Chains A and B, each alone.
Chain A
Amino acid sequence: MSKILIRGAKVLGGEPQDVLIDGETIAEVGVGLSAEGAQVIEADGQILLPGLVDLHTHLREPGREDSETVLTGTRAAASGGFTAVFAMANTFPVADTAGVVEQVWRLGKESGYCDVQPIGAVTVGLEGKKLAELGAMHESAAGVRVFSDDGKCVDDAVIMRRALEYVKAFDGVVAQHAQEPRLTEGAQMNEGIVSAELGLGGWPAVAEESIIARDVLLAEHVGSRVHICHLSTAGSVEIVRWAKSRGIDVTAEVTPHHLLLTDELVRSYNPVYKVNPPLRTEADVMALREALADGTIDIVATDHAPHPHEDKDCEWGAAAMGMVGLETALSVVQHTMVDTGLLDWEAVADRMSVRPAAIGRLEGHGRPIAAGEPANLTLLDSAYRGVVDPAGFASRSRNTPYEGRELPGRVTHTFLRGRATVVDGNLA
């Protein structure tokens, strides 16, 4: 593999430097590096970040290839600046056996656009009743360390306790989709002022918060770590903050859309805003931003949830829940966190690369931009301003809530172990 010189990039938003890639690794970082024998990319003050890592992606394959495949999903990921994604287990069949996680893992290898680390289901068929063969999935070629029934909550306290305990044997973690099922029967949107007016079934914040409260206490009791998916309420933030102050080994994620959008948008009854957990209030959005800034929330994860057009081109009640997010995540984070002064670029690298890789125990990602490290890199033109046009998405699905919205920032280059997957904003 040839050499690539990225010239004049603001590494983690700092002073412009040159970064020389040789083969799969970073050979040198410094000022005025020689371009001899290297292909030169003029970064011209763009931001250089470690390749982004998404701990929460729905790639839909196997089973729902009409909405996304591993190939199209990883192309979308690369477009958004990601070099690794964790693929959620709610496929058809469910990724609850070594066979299914190995299939997803192998499809990821074949795609070549980013690393795909499968997540295994906690319980058989996501039914919450019987533990899946967690050890077998860990020992498979996929090497699963993150387990989640995402889409459904592990609501049985005993099953959750056992799962938390069991995965300690191989340094695993359970990622909980916190949604008390009885409190959310028929739930369609955040329960509050807007749901009362619209007559849509309410999804109370307490349905999320009560599960998080229970699970951090369970994690404390059994001495396990626990990860909370997509925090969406101010109350959830308070519980996680309290748990961390007690020394409980809890980590938490927030999605880009929960950092920006509120339930006021549901007034349009446009199902593009239908998502699980639901869009909350302005006060929740502000609490989530603050928590991401102060580290209470560890990471940003996209919860990229592709759906075919017909599953959104219908009435609210019949529509599927979820939004695509891989290709807009970094722009939304820049808009909500960087341009507002809440995070600098080094912190963005921490929340979107370093820590997600650490929580998932993923090697070779979320590393420093330094000589000898794997060349997983993302180059961002943060000065760019553009209107989101889903027609240009690499994802097979178009269910973005940002269509027509102006967002800052554009990923110009993505490198996966030294190989460009995105060049000048286009997939290589």
Chain B
Amino acid sequence: MKRHLISAADLTRDDAVLILDTAEEMARVADRPIKKLPTLRGRTVVNLFFEDSTRTRISFEAAAKRLSADVINFSAKGSSVSKGESLKDTALTLEAMGADAVVIRHGDSGAPHRLATSGWIGGSVVNAGDGTHEHPTQALLDAFTMRRHLAGAADGGPTHHQGPGDGTGRDLEGRRITIVGDILHSRVARSNVHLLTSLGAQVTLVAPPTLVPIGVERWPCEVSYDLDAVLPKSDAVMMLRVQRERMNAAFFPTEREYARRYGLNGDRMARMPEHAIVMHPGPMNRGMEITAEVADSVRCTAVEQVANGVSIRMAVLYLLLGGAVLDSENAPASASTARNEENK
């Protein structure tokens, strides 16, 4: 069905559950002494990064290497050629070198879409974040993290991680997810709204009105300007990084005022339901959108999200390149295949 992963909006509920379930299988590999599968041996994955993002790049790198793929890191930042020429010419170069998948991070919204549809390359394209558009693997790892904590809580009972495999086959039906911060410039928020909605969750965005995009009324979510009103009704609260420079463009007056009105501190966290988790895609601006007290609390899943990111990216690369397709109707038993190959 799909050869690329460009947008979370392209994923159906069943596509998403398949990826999450596959990631659960991949996560078990990380718990073993030898964290490696031979699945993608002989395949080449290129990390094409036009923006610096060490965290995302090494996450994809670790994922590809655990699947035994050959990994080439291509940092195109600072190229003297004009951006347009450099994307096309770089793509043609990678094609000539036989890249099976290109993981692209680019500052321009839509660049992965162009790469996938322009005919410049034949391999799979994975969007690792494009401008202020989407970051689908981040949303997937967020959903994965939420499912581990929340999917078992249908009766309102205990929700914290009960061990690998928790939540397999399930979605996020009825879970209330609150995303707080710079929605306007956030590719993480866009991808999460699409994906979490497909998985059955109810999403509420919270931000000062300046950081909510015009046109948001058509998104399948609620919008609130009042964090305190939303917190008691949240199963997960995701705090987005807010760049300090935004105040220079008058999006908000000062850091202090932002932190007071939209930051998550201990008092606010106490208003969340007991089972609710705090999430952050990182890197965190401690003291801005999140206090150290919250960031370091057991309820904050930021570090867990990083670990889950590798599992999710393994699942995505596996499903795109491993011969399986991201189609739940005729997908092979992907997860078990992965395990079998490892056992050979």
Pick out which of these stretches binds chain B: A55-63, A78-86, A199-207, A345-353: A199-207
Which residue of A has the minimal Cβ distance to B217? A193
Q: Is the CB of B213 within 8 A of A313?
A: no
Docked pose: A268 CA to B109 CA in angstroms: 11
From A194, A314, A317, give the contact of B85 (CB < 8 A).
Answer: A314
A interface footprint on B102-145 (CB within 8 Å = 1, 0 otherwise): 00001111110110011000000000001111100000000000
B interface footprint on A395-417 (CB within 8 Å = 1, 0 otherwise): 00000000000000000000000
From B83, B134, B214, give the contact of A199 (CB < 8 A).
Answer: B134
Which residue of A has the minimal Cβ distance to B133? A199
User: Measured between C-beta atoms, what is the minimum distance from B211 to chain A in Å?
Assistant: 12
Q: Is the CB of A315 within 8 A of B82?
A: no
Q: Is the CB of A204 within 8 A of B85?
A: no
The answer, yes or no, to whether B57 is at the interface (CB within 8 Å) is: no
Q: Is the CB of B114 within 8 A of A197?
A: no
Q: A314-B85, A315-B87 are in contact. Are A193 and B108 (CB under 8 A)?
A: no
Q: Within 8 Å CB of B84, what residues of A?
A: 310-311, 313-315, 318-319
The answer, yes or no, to whether A198 is at the interface (CB within 8 Å) is: yes
Docked pose: A191 CA to B215 CA in angstroms: 8
Q: Is the CB of A314 within 8 A of B88?
A: yes
Q: Within 8 Å CB of A197, what residues of B?
A: 9, 190, 215, 218-219
User: Measured between C-beta atoms, what is the minimum distance from B12 to chain A in Å?
Assistant: 18
Q: Is the CB of B114 within 8 A of A199?
A: no
Q: Within 8 Å CB of B270, what residues of A?
A: none
Q: Is the CB of B108 within 8 A of A315?
A: yes
The answer, yes or no, to whether A364 is at the interface (CB within 8 Å) is: no
Q: Is the CB of A316 within 8 A of B109?
A: yes
Q: Within 8 Å CB of A198, what residues of B?
A: 109-110, 133
User: Measured between C-beta atoms, what is the minimum distance from A179 to chain B in Å?
Assistant: 17
Docked pose: A314 CA to B113 CA in angstroms: 11
The answer, yes or no, to whether A269 is at the interface (CB within 8 Å) is: yes
Q: Is the CB of A199 within 8 A of B131?
A: yes
Interface residues of A in 308-339 (CB under 8 A from B): 310-311, 313-319
The answer, yes or no, to whether A192 is at the interface (CB within 8 Å) is: yes
The answer, yes or no, to whether B187 is at the interface (CB within 8 Å) is: yes
The answer, yes or no, to whether B72 is at the interface (CB within 8 Å) is: no
From A196, A268, A314, A317, give the contact of B131 (CB < 8 A).
Answer: A317
Q: Is the CB of B108 within 8 A of A191?
A: no
Q: Is the CB of B215 within 8 A of A316?
A: no
User: Measured between C-beta atoms, what is the minimum distance from B188 to chain A in Å?
Assistant: 11
Docked pose: A270 CA to B116 CA in angstroms: 12
Q: A315-B83, A315-B110, A317-B111 are in contact. Are A195 and B214 (CB under 8 A)?
A: yes
Docked pose: A314 CA to B111 CA in angstroms: 8
Which residue of B has the minimal Cβ distance to A311? B84
Q: Is the CB of B85 within 8 A of A199?
A: no
The answer, yes or no, to whether B333 is at the interface (CB within 8 Å) is: no
Docked pose: A310 CA to B114 CA in angstroms: 14
Which residue of B has the minimal Cβ distance to A191? B214
Q: Is the CB of B110 within 8 A of A316?
A: yes
Chain A interface size, under 10 / 10 to 19 / 20 to 34 / 35 or more:
20 to 34
Docked pose: A192 CA to B218 CA in angstroms: 10
Docked pose: A403 CA to B309 CA in angstroms: 42
Q: Within 8 Å CB of B85, what residues of A?
A: 310, 314
User: Measured between C-beta atoms, what is the minimum distance from B123 to chain A in Å?
Assistant: 18
Q: Is the CB of B190 within 8 A of A314?
A: no
Q: Is the CB of A193 within 8 A of B111?
A: no
Docked pose: A201 CA to B213 CA in angstroms: 10
Number of B residues whose C-beta is below 8 Å from A? 31
Q: Is the CB of B114 within 8 A of A269?
A: yes
Q: Is the CB of B214 within 8 A of A315?
A: no
Q: Within 8 Å CB of B219, what residues of A?
A: 196-197
Q: Is the CB of B110 within 8 A of A269?
A: yes
Q: Looking at B88, B110, B111, B187, which has the most chain A CB atoms within 10 Å of its CB?
A: B110
B interface footprint on A378-410 (CB within 8 Å = 1, 0 otherwise): 000000000000000000000000000000000
Which residue of B has the minimal Cβ distance to A202? B214
Q: Is the CB of B215 within 8 A of A196?
A: yes
From A200, A204, A318, give the contact of B214 (CB < 8 A).
Answer: A204
Q: Is the CB of B114 within 8 A of A316?
A: yes
The answer, yes or no, to whether B331 is at the interface (CB within 8 Å) is: no
Q: Looking at A196, A270, A315, which has the most chain B CB atoms within 10 Å of its CB?
A: A315
Q: Within 8 Å CB of A268, what residues of B?
A: 113, 117
B interface footprint on A3-27 (CB within 8 Å = 1, 0 otherwise): 0000000000000000000000000
User: Measured between C-beta atoms, what is the minimum distance from A80 to chain B in Å?
Assistant: 28
Q: Within 8 Å CB of A193, what residues of B?
A: 215, 217-218
Docked pose: A188 CA to B84 CA in angstroms: 15
Q: Is the CB of B190 within 8 A of A199?
A: yes
Q: Within 8 Å CB of B131, what residues of A?
A: 199-200, 317
B interface footprint on A125-137 (CB within 8 Å = 1, 0 otherwise): 0000000000000
Docked pose: A316 CA to B111 CA in angstroms: 7
Q: Is the CB of A316 within 8 A of B108?
A: yes
Interface residues of B in 73-97 (CB under 8 A from A): 82-85, 87-88
The answer, yes or no, to whether B216 is at the interface (CB within 8 Å) is: yes
Which residue of A has the minimal Cβ distance to B87? A315
Q: Is the CB of A196 within 8 A of B110?
A: no
Docked pose: A198 CA to B7 CA in angstroms: 10
Q: Within 8 Å CB of B9, what residues of A?
A: 197
A interface footprint on B187-231 (CB within 8 Å = 1, 0 otherwise): 100100000000000000000000001111111000000000000
Docked pose: A315 CA to B107 CA in angstroms: 10
Interface residues of A in 155-200 (CB under 8 A from B): 188, 191-200
Q: Is the CB of A202 within 8 A of B213?
A: yes
Q: Within 8 Å CB of B108, what residues of A?
A: 315-318
Interface residues of A in 198-223 (CB under 8 A from B): 198-202, 204
Docked pose: A402 CA to B310 CA in angstroms: 44
Docked pose: A317 CA to B133 CA in angstroms: 12
Q: Within 8 Å CB of B213, what residues of A?
A: 195-196, 202
Q: Within 8 Å CB of A314, what residues of B?
A: 83-85, 87-88, 114
Q: Is the CB of B109 within 8 A of A318?
A: no
Q: Is the CB of A315 within 8 A of B134?
A: no
User: Measured between C-beta atoms, what is the minimum distance from B249 to chain A in Å?
Assistant: 9
Q: Is the CB of A269 within 8 A of B113?
A: yes
Docked pose: A348 CA to B219 CA in angstroms: 41
Q: Within 8 Å CB of B118, what residues of A?
A: 313
Q: A314-B83, A314-B87, A315-B87 are in contact. Are A196 and B214 (CB under 8 A)?
A: yes
8 closest A-B pairs by beta carbon, nearest first, are: A314-B84, A196-B215, A199-B133, A317-B108, A269-B110, A318-B84, A199-B132, A196-B213
Q: List 6 A-B contacts (CB under 8 A).
A: A195-B215, A199-B134, A310-B84, A316-B109, A316-B110, A319-B84
* Sample of 12 more A-B contacts, CB < 8 Å, known A195-B213, A199-B131: A195-B214, A196-B213, A196-B216, A196-B218, A198-B109, A201-B132, A270-B114, A317-B107, A317-B108, A317-B131, A318-B82, A318-B87
